[in-house]
Amino acid sequence: MEELLQQIDAYKKEIETTQISSLEELEEFRIKYLGTKGVVKGLFGEMKAVPAEKKKEFGLVLNDFKQLAETKYETAKETTVNDQLPTLNDLDLSLPGDAIAVGSRHPINLVRKRIIDIFHRLGFAVADGPEVEDDWHNFTALNIHENHPARDMQDTFYIHQNPDWLLRTHTSNVQIREMEKGKLPIRIICPGRVYRNETISARAHCFFHQVEGLYIDEHVSFADLKQTLYFFVQELFGKDVKIRFRPSYFPFTEPSAEMDISCLICGGEGCRVCKHTGWVEILGCGMVHPKVLENCKIDSNKYTGFAFGMGIERITMLLYQINDLRLFSENDVRFLRQFTSAS
Ligand code: 2NL
C-alpha cells in the first residue's frame, strides 16, 4: 500500500513536468497514462491487492490521480490542436480572392430603363397590361378597320380556343385600357413585349419590345408632342442630335408623323447606317384620332392628346451599333457579357 502511494506520487510529479508540444507527444501521453494498458488502468488493477479497510482511502487517491491525468490531457489537447490552426500571421490578406461571376443586364433592359427614366422626369408614369388581348383593345378601339392587313391571320398570332383573342401587336392595348378607366388627364408610357407573325431575320422577329407613350388633357397640341420628343432624344442620344418630322399615316392618329434623328454614326454626312440620307427613323407619333377618344368614352371636343411608339430593339441597335436583331433573343453570353459594366 505505501509503495503504491509513493508510486502514484512519482507519477504525479512526472505528469506535472511533462511537456506536450505536438500532436504526437499528446498521443504518447494518452497511451501511457489513459490507454487500455496505461498507468491509470494498471493502478485500478492493484485495487484488489489493497486491504479492505484501506480500499476507500486508496480509491480516493486513485480517482484524484486519474483526474489529474485527464485534465492534463484535455488542456494539452486544446493548446496543441489550436497551434495547428493557421493564425492571422500565417494568412496573406493581400492575395486576390476567388472571382465571383457577375451577371449583366440585358441591353434591352438597359435601354428600356433609360427611356422610362427620361419620361419619368417629364411626369409620365409607367402602365402595364396583358400580352394576350382581345380584338377590341388591340385593333377595333384603335380605329383599325376590319380589312387592315395587320389583322390578317398571316400577320398576327391568334389564340386557337377563342378567335377573338390574340397576342398583342403593340402596347397600345394598355393605353386603351387606361383611357377606358375614365380618369383624366393621362400621362403614361407603356413598355412591353409585342408579337408579329414575321419570318425571323437580322431585321425582323416574331417578338420584340416597344415603348408607347400617351398624353391626354385639355389643350394638348402637336407643339407639346414635338418638344416632348425633342427633350427625349437629346437626353438619350446627346445634345447635338437633330430631329425632323415626316408626314405619315396611322389609323389611330391624325395627323401622323414619323420622327427621324440626325445619324449618330456620321453626324449627318451620310453613311451605311443612314443609307446616305443623314437621317435615321426612330419612332412614329401623332395626335390621338378623335374616333379613338370617343371609343374610350372621352369627349374629343374637350380633350386632345398625343401618342407615340418606338421599338426598343431599334433604339438599342442604334445606341450600341448592333447589326442583327437575333442577338437579343439568342442568349449568347459572348454578346451579353459585353454589357456587364453598363448600368
Ligand atoms: C410605331 C408607331 C405609334 C401610337 C403608336 C397610339 C396609341 C393610342 C392612340 C393613338 Cl391608344 N396612338 N400609339 C401612335 C402613333 C405611332 O407607333 O412605329 N411604333 C413602333
The residue among 238, 226, 244 whose CA lies nearest residue 264 is 238
Judged by average pLDDT, the poorest of 44-48, 71-75, 134-138, 220-224 is 44-48
Span 170-189, average pLDDT:
98
Q: Is the CB of 288 under 6 A from ligand 1?
A: yes
| Model confidence pTM above 0.85 | no
The cell for 308 is 407615340
Pocket test for ligand 1, best of 211, 253, 281, 294 (most atoms within 8 A of CB): 253
Pocket test for ligand 1, best of 212, 225, 291, 294 (most atoms within 8 A of CB): 212
For residue 254, pLDDT beyond 90: yes
Reported as half-sphere exposure (CB side, CA atoms, 13 A), residue 159 has a value of 12
Cβ contact 143:295 at 8 Å:
yes
For residue 342, pLDDT beyond 70: no
Higher pLDDT, 56 or 220: 220
Q: Is the CB of 208 under 6 A from ligand 1?
A: no
The residue among 343, 220, 236, 217 whose CA lies nearest residue 283 is 236
The cell for 113 is 430603363
User: How far apart (Å, rounded) are the C-alpha atoms in residues 265 and 262?
Assistant: 9
pLDDT recorded at residue 81: 78
The residue among 308, 282, 136, 116 whose CA lies nearest residue 215 is 308
The Å distance, Cα 277 to ligand 1 centre, comes to: 25
Q: Give me the residues paired with residue 217 across strands.
A: 304
The Å distance, Cα 16 to ligand 1 centre, comes to: 93
The residue among 127, 131, 175, 190 whose CA lies nearest residue 156 is 131
Q: Is the CB of 310 under 6 A from ligand 1?
A: yes
Q: What digits encode the pLDDT tens for the residues 108-150? A: 999 999 999 999 999 999 999 999 999 999 999 999 988 888 8
The identity of residue 268, as a single letter, is G
Judged by average pLDDT, the poorest of 80-84, 162-166, 249-253, 279-283 is 80-84
Cα dihedral angle (284, 286, 292, 294), rounded to 10 degrees? 170
Pairing of strands 125-126, 186-195: parallel
In the predicted model, what is the mean pLDDT of the chain?
93
Highest-confidence segment of 9-18, 50-59, 212-221? 212-221
- Taking the CA of residue 288 as reference, the ligand 1 atom at the shortest distance is 10
Cβ contact 215:107 at 8 Å:
no
Pocket test for ligand 1, best of 112, 139, 170 (most atoms within 8 A of CB): 170
